[in-house]
Chain A
Amino acid sequence: MTDKLLPPKKKNPQLRQMVPTLPPQMRSRAALGLTAAAARGAFSLQHCQECGAVQYPPRDACCACLSVDLAWRKTPREGTVIAETRINVSPDPYYRERLPWRSGLVRLSAGPTVLCHLHGDVGRGDIVLMDLKLDKAGQGVMIALPQERSPDMADDPQLRELTAHPKHRRVLITDIRSPATRPLIEALLKAGASQIFVGESESWRRGSDHAAIAGLDKVSVMPLDVSDPSSVKRLAAEIGGKTDILINTARHVRPGGVLGSDTVFAREEFEINALGLMRLAQAFGPGMASRTADGVNSAVAFVNLLSVHALSADPQYGAFSASQAAALSISQTLRAEFRASGLRMINVFAGPTDDEWHQPLPPPKVAPKALAMSIVEALCEGLEDVYCGDVAKDLEERWRRDPKVLERELAGGA
């Protein structure tokens, strides 16, 4: 059984903070399929379309028949540990700081034998469940997990390196007015977050849940308006050094297409949804990126909520969709910029949310609680792209199949 992870002690202010290092990064292009699967939480391997062989590690041709017709498919997760190794000495800067490190060979029920990380609860001869995770370098790597979940399983040091678990971490949620904020606070506290900061813009307007939320244990409401550079900088100066997870719930939605409107609402949508994300990243990002090796409560993730229409516009929400596409693009750049630090950029995509701006739309709509659960799951599992709810999952699948067909379908009258 995994030892329970204890809350971090106060830091010794005379010791230098650990500088982030990354595990080995060189990979073949074919191996990036592992990254793509791990980012979404899928366990996929290369399947030969000619002979049906499943292979690992990924290659450009089938190891059995040399066909180049290889497809990434979901693959059964079961396997058996046939060998294990405990590494006590390593010349690699990343692993040196984390020794001992256990790895092993697992024979998958799907065929191949893989070299993988071992969770502390598994050993030679065990039947295991395999998972693909992103490591700090953003590479898809395999870890063998026990078949039976145990209460503190996520506290395993090797597994925790591969996730962005909120346990003992301090979280900033940027907008108290988002319907997702309240259930998100509850889910994060349940997952073990040690402190939650909640941003509140324009307290002079009243109408937020200020009193109810500020009264919660371990929760502090702080002034934050993502559309105001000085406000974002002020809060980053105050709590930027202890923000381990940032969840951007600030969002501005107005219905309407592009024609028959002006750019006033669109400007507000871009100010908050796109430029607000940039302001948050500029103010909090460098500080978080410098703290990704800072012990139990190291900085670990920057979470952005997006409409799934970032992928393909909903013409009923034309300007809003455009702001979401912009935010998605910004998040991709941020992901590249955070890569050297290992700070994870997580995008949670949702379909229409169950709020006043989507009121006339028919169900299914994403409930705030469901969105909160998806966000916390993404952190606990270490995902990078999450599609919350049936509409988002369906749209992503159709987009993956053929973006042009989806665009035409969303245009209506097909």
Chain B
Amino acid sequence: MSNPLDQLASALAGGTVEIVDLTHTLDPDFPVIVLPPEFGQCARFRMEEVSAYDGRGPAWKWHNISMNEHTGTHFDAPIHWVSGRDVANGAVDEIDPSVFVGPVVVIDCSEGAASNDDFELTPEIIDAWEAEHGPIPADNWVLMRTDWSKRRGAEYLNMADDGPHSPGPTPAAIETLLKRNIRGFGTETVGTDAGQGAHYVPPYPAHYLLHGAGKYGLQCLSNLDRLPPKGAMLIAPPLKIKGGTGSPLRVLALVPAGSGSGETK
């Protein structure tokens, strides 16, 4: 019996399957979610030199690093949200590792997000995607492409006096995705919810509904414009943190060569 991975290995070696990095660099100045200041805050990524081939350690260089579980490109586990607190195996160290590798579909909202900072992913957009590409298969990751990852600095959180403005899903859109029994939902923005997501019912519908249903989240993704609408494979294993509610991670996609939408709007 032939090993199916042999085929993958030769596809990777031959370049017919490409690896796309969907991860932002962990940088001390990369934005994190900002809560009202009386709440505890998401720790920024920090790195301090322990030695650099010097008196502190003559032949080696290394750093101490610190951050929140939800800093940079990161994974949300069900227990991250109050609605998912009682989900069985809802912490990152308990999740079945088969979850971390799986098929992914990408819904392109980049055109709408380019002209509307508060662009919403709605059931109608999902229906339109399915009309073109067929039904979203069960147990797929669903990513919302907005090209938001191309924004830099203050444009990324896009904070205003009435809170941040960035695109995200409506409650009805998340309910639609849950009916498809998706594996999880991912975005290019700082959270799976819209910047103004607090004003929906329920507030933060992606967090509330997804995690309540035992689904997973991915955020601060990049390079989604290099993925095809369907047919790619996502590799997104969080660190095995005991009782962890999430984790920074390196997210990769296996993509059939030449299938990426390749558009940059």
- Chain A positions near chain B (C-beta within 8 angstroms): 202-207, 223, 225, 227-231, 254, 264-265, 268
For residue A281, give the distance in angstroms from its CB to the closest CB of chain B.
15
Are A205 and B41 interface neighbours, CB within 8 A?
no
Q: A206-B159, A207-B159 are in contact. Are A230 and B28 (CB under 8 A)?
A: yes
Are A228 and B46 interface neighbours, CB within 8 A?
yes
Q: Beta-carbon contacts of B35-57 to A below 8 Å, as 1s and 0s?
A: 00010110010111100000000
Are B44 and A228 interface neighbours, CB within 8 A?
yes
9 example contacts (A-B, Cβ-Cβ < 8 A) are as follows A204-B29, A205-B154, A206-B159, A206-B160, A207-B159, A227-B44, A230-B47, A231-B28, A254-B38
Across chains A and B, the number of contacting residue pairs, with CB separation under 8 Å, is 42
Residues of B within 8 A of A223 (CB): 29
Identify B47's interface contact among A206, A229, A268, CB under 8 A: A229
Given known contacts A204-B157, A205-B159, A231-B29, what 16 new A-B pairs fall within 8 Å (CB)? A202-B29, A202-B31, A202-B44, A203-B154, A204-B153, A204-B156, A205-B34, A206-B157, A206-B160, A207-B159, A223-B29, A227-B44, A228-B46, A230-B47, A231-B28, A268-B41
- Alpha-carbon gap, A171 to B180, bound state (A): 61
Which residue, of A203, A223, A227, A230, has the highest number of chain B Cβ atoms within 10 A? A230
For residue B24, give the distance in angstroms from its CB to the closest CB of chain A.
13
Residues of B within 8 A of A203 (CB): 153-154
Q: A205-B157, A205-B159 are in contact. Are A227 and B46 (CB under 8 A)?
A: yes
- Alpha-carbon gap, A205 to B160, bound state (A): 9
Residues of A within 8 A of B34 (CB): 205
Which residue of A has the minimal Cβ distance to B45? A228
- Alpha-carbon gap, A207 to B29, bound state (A): 16
Residues of B within 8 A of A204 (CB): 29, 31, 153-154, 156-157
Q: Which 5 A-B pairs have the closest CB atoms?
A: A204-B31, A228-B28, A206-B159, A264-B40, A206-B154
- Alpha-carbon gap, A198 to B41, bound state (A): 25
- Alpha-carbon gap, A411 to B156, bound state (A): 46
For residue A309, give the distance in angstroms from its CB to the closest CB of chain B.
20
Are B156 and A229 interface neighbours, CB within 8 A?
no
- Alpha-carbon gap, A203 to B157, bound state (A): 11
Which residue, of A202, A204, A223, has the highest number of chain B Cβ atoms within 10 A? A204
Are B48 and A229 interface neighbours, CB within 8 A?
yes
For residue A70, give the distance in angstroms from its CB to the closest CB of chain B.
48
Residues of B within 8 A of A265 (CB): 40
Residues of B within 8 A of A202 (CB): 29, 31, 44
For residue B156, give the distance in angstroms from its CB to the closest CB of chain A.
6
Residues of B within 8 A of A254 (CB): 38
- Alpha-carbon gap, A254 to B41, bound state (A): 12
For residue A325, give the distance in angstroms from its CB to the closest CB of chain B.
23
Residues of A within 8 A of B153 (CB): 203-204
Which residue of B has the minimal Cβ distance to A229? B48
- Alpha-carbon gap, A230 to B28, bound state (A): 8
Which residue, of A203, A206, A231, has the highest number of chain B Cβ atoms within 10 A? A206
Q: Beta-carbon contacts of B135-159 to A below 8 Å, as 1s and 0s?
A: 0000000000000000001101101
Residues of A within 8 A of B157 (CB): 204-206
Residues of A within 8 A of B49 (CB): 229
Residues of A within 8 A of B160 (CB): 206
Which residue of B has the minimal Cβ distance to A357? B37
- Alpha-carbon gap, A203 to B30, bound state (A): 10
For residue B75, give the distance in angstroms from its CB to the closest CB of chain A.
21
Which residue, of A229, A254, A264, has the highest number of chain B Cβ atoms within 10 A? A229
Residues of B within 8 A of A225 (CB): 28-29
For residue A179, give the distance in angstroms from its CB to the closest CB of chain B.
14
- Alpha-carbon gap, A254 to B40, bound state (A): 10
Residues of B within 8 A of A206 (CB): 154, 157, 159-160
Which residue of B has the minimal Cβ distance to A264? B40
For residue B40, give the distance in angstroms from its CB to the closest CB of chain A.
5
Residues of B within 8 A of A205 (CB): 31, 34, 154, 157, 159
Which residue of A has the minimal Cβ distance to B41? A268
- Alpha-carbon gap, A223 to B40, bound state (A): 24
Residues of A within 8 A of B40 (CB): 264-265
- Alpha-carbon gap, A293 to B29, bound state (A): 36
- Alpha-carbon gap, A98 to B41, bound state (A): 53
Which residue of A has the minimal Cβ distance to B151? A204
- Alpha-carbon gap, A203 to B34, bound state (A): 13
- Alpha-carbon gap, A268 to B44, bound state (A): 11
Which residue of B has the minimal Cβ distance to A255? B38
For residue A229, give the distance in angstroms from its CB to the closest CB of chain B.
5
For residue B159, give the distance in angstroms from its CB to the closest CB of chain A.
5
Q: A203-B153, A203-B154, A264-B40 are in contact. Are A228 and B29 (CB under 8 A)?
A: yes
